[in-house]
Amino acid sequence: YSGTSPQRLHLVDLMSSLKEICAGLPLDPLPPNRGRDPSIPHALVRTPNFTPAEERLALRNALRYFPPNLHATLATEFAQELRQYGHIYMYRFCPTLRMRAYPIDQYPCRTRHAASIMLMIMNNLDPAVAQFPQELVTYGGNGQVFSNWAQFWLVFHYLSTMTEEQTLVMYSGHPLGLFPSLPSSPRCVITNGMVIPNYSSREEYEKMFAMGITMYGQMTAGSYCYIGPQGIVHGTMLTVLNAGRRYLGSGDLRGRVFVTSGLGGMSGAQAKAAVIAGCVGVIAEVDEAPLKKRHEQGWLMEITSDLSHCIQRIRYSIQENIHRNTQTYLQFIFHFYGGYYPVQLAFRQANQLMNTDPERFKTLVQESLRRQVAAINKLSDAGMFFWDYGNAFLLEAQRAGAEVEKKGGGATEFKYPSYVQHIMGDIFSLGFGPFRWVCTSGDPADLAETDAIATAVLEDISSTVTERVRQQYSDNIRWICEAGKHKMVVGSQARILYSDQRGRVSIALAINQAIAKGRVSAPVVISRDHHDVSGTDSPFRETSNVYDGSAFCADMAVQNFVGDAFRGATWVALHNGGGVGWGEVINGGFGLVLDGSEDAGQRAKLMLNWDVSNGVARRCWSGNANAYETIQRTMEDQRQLRVTMPNPVPEDQILDRALLRLP
């Protein structure tokens, strides 16, 4: 390498390292067992409560990945991991190569579709992105990319050898293998947590995960589509803006205070979202680690443990124009940390009790939930606006015996609405949801170009849509401008915005044309959050405003997954769980590679139209007026689309008379 530049040497070393990762499990010699890295955060210890036979089975299952001559060496350390951490992560096989979204051309693959999947997986495990990278957790405390590191090595080996006539099949983190398929088929099909319903309890999950036979992929962790905290910043910003319009009659939030809790994982985005929305954000957090992390990242302007100082800073920020109940609210927020960490214990004590006596921990959490709801009820009576922001807080509060019942309400209704029921549900029913793209070159210039493309597309469409749709386009154009200023990129060069069906298709086709013409230098992966109009059946969040009794049915998410697969997605995923907990939701997601080809454009057009219309049609059938109007307009634009429309049943008296006549 004499005379070769340092940059060239670095690239050669990098590609050599990526080739090593793609070579399969490193078995001869075995890598040294470095154990857990003490300098990074780690997942909480799990408590599967195994019988001796179950413990033995978990160990046997882990050893299946290795030849018998290594079992004596690996069995002891795997058994120690199982007893110490409640799961076999196989720390010995954690790669030393820095995980990040490397430019797509650096992955040693036979097809760029496989390379794009590699890029997305490595982004999910990037320490700047992942919550617990050594435990393969992207976010949410337990959102796994894989169950163990052996699976990671096997997946990368399969992807490096894959052709356009093979599909990688993933069973809850386990690569079942490469199977022959058509070039039009998905290159990867993922399922996570597909447990038979009668056995889909949280207790069963702990055992099944510890056995290595299923896993919780959250939403975009186990589908390889997470783009860092930017996604939830954007969603929270839109929620806050639309909450202002609903509760305060204005999207101008200057002088308004947004009080919430949590800075770890997904909730770490709340402070930045408040600032972009224009209000003052006050966030309580019990764990010092994420608090410092968000401050170092610049997502928090100031940290204080002094309530009086906090109130002074709020008053200064809004120039004395503070709501009279804010001080009381802040006192309650600081005293009641919510439904995850009980107020009776310090943070470290709570973590210890969670492991040593989970039943006692649950009891204390439920006591804390009841206290917090009592505070919320008192403040709401005084004029505070409260909503559940999607983590099933009200559901768990109800299970704890808190006073959240709505008299005469349905199974998904509580005294307070979820943010979907009162704020974002009608926006979903207009077809809007979290559309994303990732520039696989890793070049910020490509992201800037795609931002400009998306902005131009939305501005062009805005003149031809209804006022309600135009408002949402305007919010998202504002977002794109602010996202660049606020340095939203963490990990891959990615962007998110909310768009309806027409906007998504138009943006995807415009980006594909830009790739074909060389304005964007490399392929772009499009995807979305599963938290969308059609991706998720979740009765206490995404489908909580479905009132025809079908909120607990999962046909929409399953049909979404299947339909995306045969309409051109590069990969598809279907999960049990995500956002509100194991057994509470079914969700589906996809990834699609735009490479500038005519075929990619056709796939994007066909798949994205279905991906949105599926959910709008279902919401229309359930009785949502916005969805009814939206799907009618879509049928006018697409002559091949024909949807079964509901007939109105407005006369309650007819129902009452009919039922009264029966014995």
Question: What is the predicted pLDDT for the residue at 320?
Answer: 47
pLDDT in tens, 424-444: 888 899 999 999 999 999 999
The average pLDDT across 17-39 equals: 94
Whether pLDDT at 324 is above 50: no
The average pLDDT across 291-299 equals: 81
DSSP codes, 304-325: -S-HHHHHHHHHHHTTT---TT
Which band of pLDDT confidence, cut at 50, 70 and 90, is reported for residue 319? low
CB atoms within 10 A of CB 298: 11
Which percentage of the chain shows pLDDT scores above 70? 94
Equal fold, 35-211 vs 424-637:
yes
* Neighbouring residues of 324: CB distance < 8 A, sequence distance ≥ 6: none
Q: Which CATH class is domain 424-637?
A: alpha beta
Q: How far apart are CA 612 and CA 430, in angstroms?
A: 10
388 near 260, Cβ under 8 Å? no
Lowest mean pLDDT among 65-79, 171-185, 286-300: 286-300
| Phi-psi category of residue 597: left, alpha or beta, with phi > 0 → left and psi -120 to 50 → alpha | beta
Higher pLDDT, 32 or 412: 32
Whether pLDDT at 661 is above 50: yes
pLDDT in tens, 250-260: 888 888 888 88
222 near 121, Cβ under 8 Å? no
The average pLDDT across 520-537 equals: 94
Question: What is the predicted pLDDT for the residue at 421?
Answer: 86
| Per-residue tokens: 546 | 């479905």
DSSP state of 247: I
* Neighbouring residues of 281: CB distance < 8 A, sequence distance ≥ 6: 258, 260, 270, 271, 273, 274, 275
The average pLDDT across 338-361 equals: 83
Whether pLDDT at 290 is above 90: no
pTM tops 0.75, yes or no: yes
Residues, the chain: 663
Q: How far apart are CA 412 and CA 552, in angstroms?
A: 9
Which band of pLDDT confidence, cut at 50, 70 and 90, is reported for residue 335? very low
> What are residue 13's phi and psi, to 5 degrees?
-60, -40
* Neighbouring residues of 292: CB distance < 8 A, sequence distance ≥ 6: 303
Question: What is the predicted pLDDT for the residue at 330?
Answer: 36
Whether pLDDT at 70 is above 70: yes
pLDDT in tens, 138-165: 988 899 999 999 999 999 999 999 999 9
387 near 243, Cβ under 8 Å? yes
Which band of pLDDT confidence, cut at 50, 70 and 90, is reported for residue 326? very low
Whether pLDDT at 369 is above 80: yes
Q: Which CATH class is domain 35-211?
A: alpha beta
- Domain residues of the chain, as ranges? 35-211, 229-400, 424-637
Question: What is the predicted pLDDT for the residue at 2?
Answer: 39
- Gyration radius (Cα) of the chain, Å: 25
Question: What is the predicted pLDDT for the residue at 365?
Answer: 92
Provide the sign of the torsion angle of the four alpha carbons 154, 159, 161, 167, taken in this order: positive
- 571-576 and 586-594 strand pairing: antiparallel
Mean pLDDT of the chain: 90
* Closest of 604, 590, 439, 451 to residue 529, by C-alpha: 590
Q: Does domain 229-400 have CATH number 3.40.50.10730?
A: yes
Which percentage of the chain shows pLDDT scores above 90? 63
Higher pLDDT, 582 or 574: 574
Higher pLDDT, 660 or 165: 165
Which band of pLDDT confidence, cut at 50, 70 and 90, is reported for residue 8? low
Lowest mean pLDDT among 47-61, 229-243, 604-618: 229-243
Lowest mean pLDDT among 207-211, 293-297, 381-385, 616-620: 293-297
222 near 143, Cβ under 8 Å? yes
Question: What is the predicted pLDDT for the residue at 155?
Answer: 98
Report CA-CA distances (Å) from 558 to 193, 210, 223. 13, 26, 15
Residue 359: alpha-carbon gap to chain centroid: 29
